[in-house]
Amino acid sequence: MDLADLSQRQKIIQHLEREGLKNVIFTNCVKDENVKQVIPAVTELVGSSCRYHRGENVELCIMVVGVPNVGKSSLINALRRQHLRKGKATRVGGEPGITRAVMSRIQVCERPLMFLLDTPGVLAPRIESVETGLKLALCGTVLDHLVGAESLADYLLYTLNRQRLFGSDLAGWPWLPRADGGLCRYVQHYGLDGACDDVVTVLKRVAVRLGKTQKVKVLTGTGDVTVVQPDYPAAAHDFLRTFRRGLLGAVMLDRDVLQGPLDP
Ligand SMILES: Nc1nc2c(ncn2[C@@H]2O[C@H](COP(=O)(O)OP(=O)(O)OP(=O)(O)O)[C@@H](O)[C@H]2O)c(=O)[nH]1
Ligand SMILES: [Mg+2]
């Protein structure tokens, strides 16, 4: 909830309900926001399901499932912090594939006695479209080098521009209504002159600003010449990392998927 733009919260919930997903709780597992709502909601759901009456065992054992790198292990650790005042029980990390096997059950609550099973992230065997794949990759569900950091940076720039989240009064397209409320977006963050839809130009500026340049020897007819080139891969990685840390502001990648008119 701290990284996604939830201004269309109701539309998101309606969309998920149409897909058969109910009881949505938006959480921030780093700052433990809304995490306390999870156990009462789960207890209520299990209690009201017919499977609950199978035996006399009162303890609950729940499995946490989801795409890679979405925060499954962080949720388990956050629940332990909140309900048991205990530290980390499962490893978390900023790339997919941190949890590699179904782990032994971890206690997250005393009353009701609840255990959670951490599981490795899973993706659907077939991703419906290239764009869905790019969105998933942008969220770090696959390793960046499998898609290519520069291609991902290009898609990120396209998304930010399409949603008009460039964030500067000097932005190159002043005739478009602003959607970002003046937040610090990529134009300010990297000190650009304005919005730009050419990823090479943006990455060049990012590289120069970060001092990520490399000296390359170029063979010419009159001998070797050393030229300074922007380090495009390093700039692309920085652009992606900055976006994933929320420093370019909250973004809702699935904005185009929501039905009905959007608020400006
Ligand atoms: N900003 C933010 N970052 C989060 C949140 N939850 C988790 N993270 C970060 O997301 C990254 C992935 O978290 P994990 O808990 O390892 O994700 P996972 O789903 O267990 O990942 P796998 O085990 O690889 O499938 C880590 O860098 C976490 O710190 C959140 O609510 N907000
Ligand atoms: Mg994990």
Is 179 a member of any domain? yes
Residue of 35, 92, 103 to test ligand 1 pocket, by largest number of atoms within 8 Å of CB: 92
The predicted structure's pLDDT at residue 170: 46
Residues 77 and 29 in one domain: yes
The predicted structure's pLDDT at residue 199: 96
Residues 15 and 51 in one domain: yes
From the alpha carbon of 70, which atom of ligand 1 is closest? 19
The residue from 87, 118, 149 where one domain ends is: 118
Residues 189 and 224 in one domain: yes
The predicted structure's pLDDT at residue 99: 86
- Asked if 98 contacts 73 with a C-beta cutoff of 8 angstroms, the reply is yes
Is 215 a member of any domain? yes
Give dist(CA 198, CA 150) in Å, integer: 12
Number of separate domains in the chain: 2
The predicted structure's pLDDT at residue 54: 62
**Contacts for 95 with CB less than 8 Å, ≥ 6 apart:** 69, 140, 143
Q: Where are the beta strands (DSSP E) in the chain?
A: 60-64, 106-109, 114-118, 213-220, 223-230
The predicted structure's pLDDT at residue 117: 92
Give dist(CA 145, CA 107) in Å, integer: 36
Rounded to the nearest angstrom, the distance between the alpha carbon of 197 and the centre of ligand 2 is 35
- Asked if 121 contacts 97 with a C-beta cutoff of 8 angstroms, the reply is yes
From the alpha carbon of 27, which atom of ligand 1 is closest? 31
Ligand 1 site residues, Cβ closer than 6 angstroms: 2-3, 27-30, 66, 68-74, 92-94, 96-99, 120-121, 246
Ligand nearest to the CA of 4: 1
Rounded to the nearest angstrom, the distance between the alpha carbon of 248 and the centre of ligand 2 is 25
Is 52 a member of any domain? yes
Residue of 3, 27, 67, 74 to test ligand 1 pocket, by largest number of atoms within 8 Å of CB: 74
The predicted structure's pLDDT at residue 171: 47
Domain CATH code at residue 166: 1.10.1580.10
Say whether the peptide bond before residue 125 is cis (omega within 30 degrees of 0).
Answer: no
Ligand nearest to the CA of 88: 1
Residues 111 and 181 in one domain: no
Residues 112 and 156 in one domain: no
From the alpha carbon of 99, which atom of ligand 1 is closest? 23
Residues 253 and 150 in one domain: yes
Is 233 a member of any domain? yes
Is 126 a member of any domain? no
Q: What is the pLDDT along the chain (264 residues), one digit of tens a residue?
A: 999 999 889 999 999 999 999 999 999 999 999 999 999 999 999 888 876 566 677 788 999 999 999 999 999 999 999 888 888 888 898 888 888 887 788 998 888 889 999 999 999 899 889 999 999 999 999 999 999 999 999 999 999 999 888 875 544 555 555 555 555 789 988 988 888 999 999 999 999 999 998 888 888 888 889 988 899 999 999 999 999 999 998 999 999 888 665 555
Residue whose CA is at the smallest distance from ligand 1 atom 5: 29
Angle at 112 between CA 110 and CA 114, to 5 degrees: 70
The residue from 94, 118, 142 where one domain ends is: 118
Judged on CB neighbours under 10 Å (0-12, 13-18, 19+), 129 is: exposed
Domain residues for the domain of 16 are 6-118
Residues 172 and 221 in one domain: yes
Residues 11 and 114 in one domain: yes
Residues 144 and 245 in one domain: yes
Residues 176 and 250 in one domain: yes
End-to-end alpha carbon distance in the chain: 20
Residues 151 and 84 in one domain: no
